[in-house]
Structure 1
Amino acid sequence: MTDHAHPAPRICPVCDGFASAAVTLGGRDRHGHLRVITVHCPACHGAGTRPARAAALAGGRA
Structure 2
Amino acid sequence: MPQHAPTARICRDCDGFPTVVITTGTRHQDGSRVTLRITCPACKGTGHTMPAAALTRTGR
| TM-score, normalisation: structure 2 | 0.69
SS of 2:20's partner is strand
In the alignment, which residue of structure 2 is the partner of 1:21? 20
Runs (4+) of structure 1 exceeding 6 A deviation are none
Aligned-residue RMSD, C-alpha: 2.1
Deviations 1:39-59 (A, max 9, x none): 0111011110113xxx1527x
Q: Select the structure that is richer in helix.
A: 1
SS of 2:26's partner is strand
Structure 2 regions of 5+ residues with no counterpart?
A: 55-60
Structure 1 regions of 5+ residues with no counterpart?
A: 1-5
| Among candidates 41, 53, 59, match of residue 57 of structure 1 | 53
| TM-score, normalisation: structure 1 | 0.67
